[in-house]
Amino acid sequence: MDVKIGLIGKGNVGSCFLELLKKKENYLHKEYNLRIIVIAIYEYDGALINEKGLDLDKIISLKERFREHKDWKDNIKPIDSMQKINLDLCIDTTPTNPDTGKPALNHIIDALNNHIDVISSSKGPFYLKYKEIHELAKKTKTYIKYEATVASCVPILSIKDSLNGNEITSIKAILNGTSNYILSRMTSEGVAFSVALKEAQELGYAEADPTLDIEGYDAAGKLVILANELLNWSKTISDVKIKGISKITPHTIELAKLEGFTIKHLAIAEKDILFVEPRLIEKDSPLNIGGTLNVIKLQTKYAGPIIIMGRGAGGYEAASAILNDLISIQKLRKRSIE
Ligand SMILES: NC(=O)c1ccc[n+]([C@@H]2O[C@H](COP(=O)([O-])OP(=O)(O)OC[C@H]3O[C@@H](n4cnc5c(N)ncnc54)[C@H](OP(=O)(O)O)[C@@H]3O)[C@@H](O)[C@H]2O)c1
């Protein structure tokens, strides 16, 4: 089966996705009889378009100079071309304005309205307009997947399919690698918040403006998606009570240690309430993970806790989640035809 795709955003995740597609080309064909043909790669100022299929080897080798490729056209927007070129699937890997969800939200809505299935790694649209996006997908009979939006490669959204015989009752998680790195360093080295933050920035774990990470907004967005998906809630980010970690001092951490506790920036969904806040947890708790890792503990009704942990960021990590979403959509399509 041929699947014609358009990628929107050729940054870190988008580029890793193209490379992963090349690496897995033979596997996808052999295992799923799938031939993925990338016919469009959109950037904010134009697009690479070739309806017979773009030369990915050449485009990958050009790296940031991809606009020099012969298939580059200036000023083409996804909305103007996605239906004309007959895309089967649109993959959005653009950044999100945290207040509006744009531009990713517009790409998703435009694709669904054109009856094109969507995969997105941008979380904003889903913590702002989860219900509306799903209603539109239902109305237009399209599939939408977004595993990479929460904990990147950790398959925490798709785990729902494996727990149909059970029931998830609450969620506790560490969903932001930057704030977890900072707290881990403050705990292990006794350094001040500002020192740990600077270190995280030097290592590339924290943005120049780290506000969304350290004040809990990034984790809150991911928590909303988790709660809506796994607990069937219908929340937006404005429903989350959010407290950051910037006021935590080495002294507070030391006091917690003396009592056998550590401080973690937890994202919690329980009893219809969503929080992101620093909390005391026991030192030997499975949530006491170090570095930039993410961990999610699902409390279930019939099987106790289920805990899943892994890298919550990284280009290839997110790209692997996108490719998995792609395979899942193809399986759903195949099933609907049979
Ligand atoms: N990196 C990760 O580890 C990771 C993991 C999971 C999810 N995500 C999410 O995935 C998305 C992409 O992340 P990233 O790290 O790949 O970011 P990135 O490197 O900044 O890539 C985003 C790309 O989208 C382009 N872009 C911006 N506005 C656009 C528009 N209107 N139309 C088309 N392209 C546009 C950007 O171009 P310019 O740079 O030229 O503006 C850039 O090439 C984000 O929403 C992020 O939160 C990232």
Cα angle for residues 54, 76, 20 (degrees, 5° grid)? 35
The residue behind tokens 């030391």 is 254
Q: Over the chain, what is the mean pLDDT?
A: 96
| Residue of 222, 235, 264, 297 marked active site | 222
> Distance between CA atoms of 217 and 9, rounded to whole angstroms?
23
- Structure confidence by residue, pLDDT tens digits, 172-220: 999 999 999 999 999 999 999 999 999 999 999 988 899 999 999 999 9
Confidence of residue 337 (pLDDT cuts 50, 70, 90): confident
Cα angle for residues 50, 53, 55 (degrees, 5° grid)? 95
Q: Are 323 and 119 in contact (CB under 8 A)?
A: no
Indicate whether residue 98 lines ligand 1 (CB < 6 A): no
Q: Are 211 and 176 in contact (CB under 8 A)?
A: no
Indicate whether residue 7 lines ligand 1 (CB < 6 A): no
**pLDDT of res. 310:** 96
Tell me, what amino acid is at 125? Answer: P
Instruction: Give just the sign of the alpha carbon dihedral 126, 171, 300, 147.
Output: positive
**pLDDT of res. 336:** 86
Confidence of residue 149 (pLDDT cuts 50, 70, 90): very high
Q: Is 264 helix (H, G, I), strand (E, B) or coil?
A: strand
Indicate left, alpha or beta for 45 from its phi (over 0: left) and psi (-120 to 50: alpha): alpha
User: Is 222 designated active site?
Assistant: yes
DSSP letter for 35, please: E
Helices (H), the chain: 12-23, 25-32, 56-62, 78-81, 104-113, 124-139, 177-189, 193-202, 211-214, 217-230, 250-258, 315-337
Determine the average pLDDT of the residues in 21-28. 97
Q: State yes or no: pLDDT of 168 exceeds 90.
A: yes
Instruction: Kindly give the distance from the C-alpha atom of residue 189 to the centroid of ligand 1, in angstroms, as a whole number.
Output: 33
- The model scores a pTM over 0.85: yes
Indicate whether residue 121 lines ligand 1 (CB < 6 A): yes
Q: Whose CA is nearest to atom 42 of ligand 1?
A: 11
- Structure confidence by residue, pLDDT tens digits, 247-291: 999 999 999 999 999 999 999 999 999 999 999 999 999 999 999
Q: What residue ranges define each of the domains in the chain, with the CATH number in brackets?
A: 2-153+316-337 (3.40.50.720), 158-311 (3.30.360.10)
Q: State yes or no: pLDDT of 106 exceeds 80.
A: yes
Q: Whose CA is nearest to atom 30 of ligand 1?
A: 44
Ligand 1 atom closest to 313 (CA): 3
Strands 261-270 and 273-282 come out as antiparallel
What's the start-to-end Cα distance of the chain, in Å?
14
Q: Which of 75, 94, 207 to mutate to test the pocket of ligand 1 (most atoms within 8 A of CB)?
A: 94
The residue behind tokens 């006021």 is 247
